[in-house]
Each structure stands twice: as C-alpha cells, then as structure tokens.
Structure 1
C-alpha cells in the first residue's frame, strides 16, 4: 500500500487496493510488452501501452449539435505515475463501455492523445485520450503497485484559505445526511440533491452537496467516512463544497486516512463542539442572515477578527469600475490566475507553469454600494458580477475589444439598482497598508 505518511500535509496520497482482489485475468501484469508511465505520454509518441486502474467511469450520454448527434462516455485511469481522462464516442461506446469496470486494471493502447480541455477535466494532466476504431483495451491481472486512487486531501479548516471555485479533494465523517430534495434547473430538468455534513479532525464542519444518482443512492447510516475527489469549493453561505459530474465519491474507502478519521471520531470526535464553515439559510427567519447597515459594519469594526465575518445588507450599486473589471485567466478548471501573453502568441500561467493557446475571461469587479447611511467599496467575483451586470465575463471581455459603446451601456444600465448582498469582510494587509474587503 502506497501512501504519504506525514499527517496534515497536502502531499498527494496514492492508495493501493487491498490484497486478494479478484480481477478478471485476460493478460498477466508481468507481460513482456513495454509499458509506459502515464506521466510520460505526449501526442508525439506513436506506439505506447499503459497499465492502469479505472478510478471513475461516467454513464453513457447523448450529444447533439450542428454537426450531428451521437453518444459518449468517459473514464479516468491511474497508475504509479499519474492519471488521465479517456473519452469514447459512438462505436467505441458500444465496444468498450461494458468491458470497463471501476477498480479493475487494463492494458490500454492506440488511443489518440491531445491537449486536455480543462473545462471538463480536473485531473492534473496536460493531456487526455480519445479512443478510436484501432484502440485496444485488454483486462489485466491486478497489480498491487497500481494505486486505487490519487488524492490530495485538504483538511476542512483549510478551505477558508483556498480560492473560490478551487477543485478540492476532501475526506470527513458524515455526521448527518439530509434527505434528498429536488430542484428544477433553468432548462426545466429536475435534479436530485442531498447535503452531507462532513467533519474531520480539525473539528471543523462543511456541507458538501451530492447531485443526481449519487444523491439518490447515498446511505449515511452509521456516520460513514466519505471521501470526495474533485469537489468544487464555493463561498455560498461561507464555505461549501459541491460534487461535480467528474467527481468521485467514496464511502468508507479502504485507505489509511479513512482509518485514522474513524478512530479519531469514535474516540473523541463524536463529542466535540465543532464549528461549521457553512451558514445555512433559514426559510422562515432572517436571523442567520446577520443583517447590517454599512455604517454598522464600520462602527463595529467588522473584519478585524482572525477569521472572516459575514453580513447581509440591502444596498444600491452607485458605481462600478469598468477598468480592469475582466481579465484574461488560465483556462484550467481549477485555476483562475491571470495569464501573460508570450512572444510566441501563447498565454502563460505562472501558477500552472504552462502555456495555452487560449484563455478564459474572469470578472474581478470593484463596485461602490450605498444604503441610507453610508457607502462602501466591495470586490465582486465571477458569479456575483455576472448577476449585477447581466452578462457573462466572456461577453463583456469580447465587447470591450469590439464595441466600446455597448460595453459602456452595460455598466450604465447596472448602476442605481438595489440588491440584497451577502458579504464576506476581512481586514487584509498589503505592504504595510490595510483595507477592508
């Protein structure tokens, strides 16, 4: 079993399956064929074979666009060196979907490698695969050196220090699983959801939301250990997590961190007075909204505590700065850092240490709010700015480059509108100067 022994670190953890696994044996793991580590693959290689374990497998989905229609499914595999996403379309769906089982090991070869689309993949790999007519997938005798999962678990208390929309691996005890509820999406589709209250040894709680089939089938009896690989971090109601289509949810996984959590909770965790990072809205009371006027916020010196504070207010947008309201950001799903254009025409992200052929626009909007007694500058991020302006960052970014008059009109229409704002306030220090945000 391979894993990172240091507790409390953010080192990637690789978990190997328990011995004695009964995988179907079509090819021996000691086969003489040359096996390449996943981390060494690139589009310029013509002949390679990987030996990897399936860690996540989607359902078959239908697609339709101007070029036609069809079906697809995707799956993720891991070996000792890394992980990669693989997608199959149409005929390859019929050929491979029933063959692949989560947790089993396979030899995979003759697939096409391309640059990964980070909008649809959260894996830390620059490339992804597409299967075609000549692709080969052969079941392999299980190999204990191949991990069952590659996770980089973050303690719940650390979520306050992570960027909004970050992709997080988290593990915790499910203290409570709420009943399944159903919501109707904008396209009139009904979706199931279930909220899990997770706690870990940091004595902090967070609510993680499961969707669809995962929400329906989840069983929270016995307060199980729940690990989620690839959840999105939100600042809705403080800090909360949401499972994505690509997320992997594991209940009572056979991994060292789960054993440590179980032992901690059974010994002392069940009795601790934990603090939740997620504030729940009440349907019949405004008591949890922490209503304040802007003058209250200043007079009470909110934001001067060690941890951020939250309040709600009714305020009017007086002015929004158009300058630098959108920026060119890294296109990776788990990164929103500003990119730098290079002499070769590519866009470089210093955080990811990669160059991309394109970028995505992101909002970073400064707005001045006013109520009957005071005014305050606030910073609005992606979703909030989209609500205030009524347009996506992509649309505003393109308007700024192509139609300045239309760009200005968007801001004029958004001014002097009144909204209910849920705010996070924290005193930050920059180069010896301080400001409330």
Structure 2
C-alpha cells in the first residue's frame, strides 16, 4: 500500500509509512578541526527540508550513507521522501528549532519531482539585534540575522589555523553587530561583495552562535558552514 502524504508539522516520533513532498532548502558538510595539525575531518552532511507550509526539518547523512543520497539530493531540488524514520533532534547547535529530525536508512526512497512554486526556496527566522545579548552562549538553537554590511576586514588566520573574517552589520534601528565568518565563507565573502552590482550588500547569515557581548557590539561566530544570502537571491517571505 502506498504511503499517505503528510506535512512536516504532523510528524512525531511515532510516525510511520508516510510520504513527504519537500524541497532541500540547505545542504552543508560539517567538519571537525584538529587544533594541532589544523586539518579538517568531515563528520557528516546535513540537509534542511521545507514543505508547502514552510515547516522545516533536518536530516543528518553520515559518511557511510553519502553515496546513497548524493548527488541525488541537490540544494533547491524537490523530492518525494518515504520509508524514513523520525528521530529526536540534536540537543544543541540546531539549525532547525524542532525536537524531531529525519533519519534515512537503506529502505528510504528519495524520488526527484518537478519544480513547484508551492514550496518556498527558503525560510528565515531572524533574530533582532536587540535580542542577541540574551542568547549569549545559548547553544541549543543557532540563530539567523540580517543586516547591511558596513565594514569588513581582510581574511586572517586564527590561532587554530582556520581562516576567519569579521564583518560589521547594521540593522534598521542603527544597531551594530560583528559577525565572524570562517573558512570557505570567509574566503568567498570579500569576492562576493566586490561583485555586488550596487556596491552595497544586505545579507542574511545563518548558523550563528553568540559568543561574546561588549557594549553595543555583539560578536557572533558563524559555525556549521553557515549560509550567506544576498537580498537579490531571495524569492520567499523573510520571517
């Protein structure tokens, strides 16, 4: 018997034999960095799915599963997914604020489907700059912020050997905030800004942890290969 169609909002740990019609809105690889050698080791690949209700759920694909689901899963692609398991979400550093997540195994079916406007490309749950200090070292859920880039430094090497770059964001209430980008995002951000047609960039940055607060400046560390989205790329409602 064919599985029944379901929405992400209806899922629970007891859910079985349902089919999700979703978009892979974000895909990124998670790494650990050896402090002595500065070498990176890939831990897993994470995927965030979104449905027509704009509900989201995360999937972790382990390295020994990667050949089964990539390159089949592509960022922006639409899929029917069935024969998966619903499991407890991570207890910390969560990119999706949810108590549940998806788990795939050898029985899981992932079928590419035609593009549809019913499922948005992105959904952002933005944290106001004024609320950031209250989230200092809150590691349960990573946050997302948006602002105008007013300053940025050159990429530099941190004490652990990783590349980093600080950027200064300004929001609509004239509050400033420093965001630190790491590795690929640090290396590519300056080139992306230089290519901006109007010389200014309003960006949304995801996957952030509040690390320190000093006066009116917040230092936010971007972790887990965050996304940096320019306004011109957005084709969805920003929440």
TM over 0.5: yes
TM-fit CA distance, 1:254: 1.9
TM-fit CA distance, 1:37: 0.6
TM-fit CA distance, 1:130: 1.7
- Residue 53 (structure 1) aligns with: 23
Does residue 1:254 correspond to 2:239, yes or no?
no
Q: Label 1:49 to 1:256 Cα distance change in 2 as closer, same or farther (>3 A).
A: closer
Q: How does 1:13-412 map onto structure 2 within 5 Å? A: 34-59=4-29, 72-79=44-51, 80-160=53-133, 162-166=134-138, 167-185=142-160, 190-218=161-189, 219-221=192-194, 222-238=199-215, 239-245=218-224, 247-252=226-231, 253-255=233-235
TM-fit CA distance, 1:196: 1.1
Q: Deviations over 1:199-234 (max 9, x none)?
A: 121111111111111111112232211101231123
Distance 1:210 1:143 in 2: 33
Distance 1:90 1:120 in 2: 20
Q: Deviations over 1:215-263 (max 9, x none)?
A: 11112232211101231123243422221206332123325788xxxxx
Q: Label 1:200 to 1:257 Cα distance change in 2 as closer, same or farther (>3 A).
A: farther
Q: Contact 2:95–2:143 (CA<8 Å) still a contact in 1?
A: no
Greater fraction strand: 2
List alignment gaps of at least 5 residues for structure 2: 33-41
Please, what TM-score do these two structures have when normalized by structure 2? 0.80
Distance 2:235 2:171 in 1: 15
Q: Label 1:149 to 1:256 Cα distance change in 2 as closer, same or farther (>3 A).
A: closer
TM-fit CA distance, 1:145: 1.8
Q: Contact 1:155–1:202 (CA<8 Å) still a contact in 2?
A: no
Q: Label 1:121 to 1:157 Cα distance change in 2 as closer, same or farther (>3 A).
A: closer
TM-fit CA distance, 1:60: 7.0
Q: Contact 1:122–1:246 (CA<8 Å) still a contact in 2?
A: no
Distance 1:241 1:60 in 2: 18
Q: Deviations over 1:309-341 (max 9, x none)?
A: xxxxxxxxxxxxxxxxxxxxxxxxxxxxxxxxx
Which is bigger in relative contact order (C-alpha 8 A, separation at least 6)? Answer: 2
Helix, strand or coil at the partner of 2:91 = coil
Helix, strand or coil at the partner of 1:152 = coil
Q: Deviations over 1:157-192 (max 9, x none)?
A: 4434x331343321111112211111132xxxx211
Count of matched residue pairs: 215
RMSD after superposition? 2.5
List alignment gaps of at least 5 residues for structure 1: 1-31, 63-69, 259-437
Q: Contact 1:183–1:193 (CA<8 Å) still a contact in 2?
A: yes
Distance 2:211 2:173 in 1: 19
Distance 1:211 1:104 in 2: 26
Helix, strand or coil at the partner of 1:92 = helix
Q: Deviations over 1:131-153 (max 9, x none)?
A: 11111111111221212222222
- Residue 290 (structure 1) aligns with: none
Distance 2:201 2:157 in 1: 24
Distance 1:83 1:232 in 2: 20
